[in-house]
Amino acid sequence: MKNKSIIAFLLLSTLFIACKDDKLAPVAANAVKPTVVTEALPHDTDDPSIWIHPTDASKSIIVGTDKDTDGALYAFDLKGKIVAKSEVLKRPNNVDIAYGLLIDGKKVDVAVTTERESNKIRVFSLPDLKAIDNGGIAVFEGEELRDPMGIALYTRKSDGKIFAIVGRKSGPSGSYLWQYELSGNGKFATAKVVRKFGAYSGKKEIEAIAVDNELGTVLYCDEQFGIRKYKADPALNDNKELTIFGKTGFKADNEGIAIYKKTDSTGYILVSNQQANTFMVYPREGAKGNPNDYPLLAEIPTSTIECDGADVTSVNLGGNFKNGLFVAMSNGMTFHYYAWDLIQKRIDESKK
């Protein structure tokens, strides 16, 4: 009964969106079907991030953005039910999560989102989604081009410091991304600029950003151009681009990025081929002997439509998600959860 409900929902969503815009690609007949579809949000889902519960992984939540002038962050349980909501936000775009930000002498897990219409980033405690930023932290100050969109949080292994790497709707090549060190000032989170970096092709925009804490790297999608890779630690004073990959095979936009970690150094990088309703899969560790060479391993059709953002974990969350969970945004105001086994099966089939 559950599967029939999900399939019926997907068919209705596809028909609804096709009526609005007949240029959108249909969901492929062989697309991976979702294990769970979340409750619909009021406006426009855009980007999810997974928070792992510290003592009971089955109580982990997915935090997602509802992108509108009167939007918010929403938290979903592993059954897709809404369990928490932030205060009203002015067009929250992307969101990421980090663990153990020191606030008022206590370590607090946080969700940080970009608030586009206020030119701020907003910081919320987890899992309750309570604001701890005294109204928000201004970003790209002094710049003509601000409009923050993408965000990824980097936790440095050497000292546990947390940094927010923030992108915007448009910006200059070489300093498109600004990196902020997050800290606590009394009861509130604060931030200071520590780095400006990031080449830009000028073709469309840079929104999707992901950080690999263990490998110390940051990846971001220069849409319609490729996926760029840099070192994540600002203390290295190294803004040299390490590589560009994924320059071919995308229908139009290369979008949301998720990193599946099999070990501290191996796994997969999944990138949304947005207009094709598929995900491109690359080796996290690169090709054998070359960590900056990323051959395409698989292209996986999914049930998501025009996916902007995604996240993934390899942590055992119990139930259907013993080998992890992959979550992706879909038009129709929902997020789709996939048991990782469904994705791994398609990757394995592509290797045959």
* Amino acid letter, residue 274: Q
**How many Cα atoms are found within 13 Å in the side-chain-facing hemisphere of 336?**
28
b/e code 309-344 from CB counts within 10 Å (16+ = b): bbbbbbbebeebbebbbbbbbbbbbbbbbbbbebbb
- CA atoms of 75 and 337, how far apart (whole Å): 14
DSSP 3-state assignment of 199? coil
Integer-rounded Cα Rg, in Å, for the chain is 19
Classify 349 as helix, strand or coil. helix
What pLDDT is stored for residue 25 in this prediction? Answer: 80
Closest CA to 163 of 146, 145, 147, 177: 177
Short-list 297, 301, 307, 299, CA closest to 330:
307
HSE-up (13 A, CA, CB side) for residue 66: 23
Supply the DSSP symbol for 58: G
pLDDT less than 50: residues of the chain: 1-5, 7-9, 11-12, 14-21
> What pLDDT score was predicted for residue 10?
52
CATH code assigned at 171: 2.120.10.30
Residue 304 CA: distances (Å) to CA of 9, 11, 326: 12, 11, 12
Report the predicted TM-score, pTM, of the whole model to 2 decimal places: 0.93
For the chain, what is the domain count? 1
Backbone φ and ψ of 328, nearest 5°: -140, 145
- The per-residue pLDDT for 6 is 55
Domain containing 241 equals 2-351
Distance CA 294, CA 301 (A): 20
